[in-house]
């Protein structure tokens, strides 16, 4: 059975109050392996957080819909920021601009849309301590150091591997970006993943600081 990743759900909604537990418990048996439940108000975000804690296959997107932005304050924004740093929070949402229902003023919507976009820009880039030491302090604001060799990184997170073969993490990898260059160094590591079972979706070539040509390849699972 092909596993399904439901990237946008609202199981926190009151419409599921009567049978939410039965429905969510049945998802894995129906082939749904992962779910991202998306908040739309402060109250729904709290419910999303509860579901994230209760079910290991449910992840969250935390944010306030434009129609609910009147409830946002600097205090509640700080709370949103704190929740977005949780390991199982994969995105900021549901956010945007909604001029159809026009429940809240356009200026208010724009203000909180921009503020919440800033939260999305604060996602961490995971790497080990070896790689972290190669970056100056002023560039390390979005870097998170893993102590467990990437084994406990949540789905959707971005990881940078420099001194390890990614093959050991094959079961966890959702998307793969490889870099190849036209020089050989004694310490170079090679990816031993069987790329025949991956689909090449994008190739880009560019000039590096000390390389005439670097090739970036992006792969997804077939």
Q: Which residue has the higher pLDDT, 1 or 188?
A: 188
* Mean pLDDT of all residues in 77-100: 90
Cα separation, 139 vs 136, whole angstroms: 6
pLDDT at 137 over 90: no
Cα torsion at 154, 157, 158, 163 (round to 10°)? Answer: -10
Q: What SS3 state is found at 112?
A: helix
Q: Which residue has the higher pLDDT, 143 or 33?
A: 33
pLDDT at 122 over 70: no
For 220, the token pair is 């997804």
The string of DSSP letters for 7-28 reads EEE-TTSGGGTTTHHHHHHHTG
pLDDT at 2 over 80: no
pLDDT digits (tens, 9 = 90+) for 153-190: 777 678 888 888 889 888 888 889 998 888 787 877 78
Cα separation, 112 vs 93, whole angstroms: 12
pLDDT at 102 over 90: no
pLDDT at 1 over 70: no
Q: Which of these, 123, 124, 221, 156, lies nearest to 8 by C-alpha position?
A: 156
* Mean pLDDT of all residues in 100-128: 85
Does this model's pTM top 0.85? My answer is no
* Mean pLDDT of all residues in 123-141: 77
Q: Which residue has the higher pLDDT, 128 or 38?
A: 38
Query: Is the link from the previous residue into 94 a cis peptide, with omega within 30 of 0?
Result: yes
Q: Which residue has the higher pLDDT, 146 or 152?
A: 146
Tell me what pLDDT residue 157 has: 77
Report the Cα 129 to chain-centroid distance in Å: 21
Residues 6+ apart with CB under 8 A from 92: 61, 62, 63, 84, 116, 117, 119, 120
* Residues facing residue 9 across a β-bridge: 37
């Amino acid at each position: 059975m092909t596993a399904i990743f439901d990237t946008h759900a609202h199981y926190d909604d009151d419409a599921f109050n009567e049978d939410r537990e039965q429905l969510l418990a049945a998802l894995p048996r129906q082939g749904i392996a992962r779910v991202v439940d998306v908040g739309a108000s402060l109250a729904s975000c709290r419910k999303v957080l509860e579901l994230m804690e209760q079910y290991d296959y449910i992840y969250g997107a935390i944010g306030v819909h434009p129609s609910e932005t009147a409830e946002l304050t600097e205090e509640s924004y700080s709370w949103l920021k704190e929740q977005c740093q949780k390991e199982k929070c994969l995105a900021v949402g549901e956010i945007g601009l909604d001029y159809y229902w026009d429940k809240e003023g356009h200026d208010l919507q724009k203000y909180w849309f921009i503020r919440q976009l800033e939260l999305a820009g604060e996602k961490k880039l995971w790497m080990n301590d070896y790689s972290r030491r190669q970056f100056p302090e002023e560039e390390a604001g979005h870097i998170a150091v893993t102590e467990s060799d990437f084994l406990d990184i949540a789905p959707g997170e971005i990881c940078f591997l420099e001194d390890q073969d990614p093959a050991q993490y094959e079961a966890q990898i959702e998307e793969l970006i490889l870099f190849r260059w036209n020089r050989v160094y004694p310490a170079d590591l090679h990816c031993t993943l069987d790329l025949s079972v991956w689909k090449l979706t994008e190739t880009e070539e560019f000039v590096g600081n000390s390389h005439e040509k670097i090739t970036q390849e992006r792969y997804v699972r077939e």
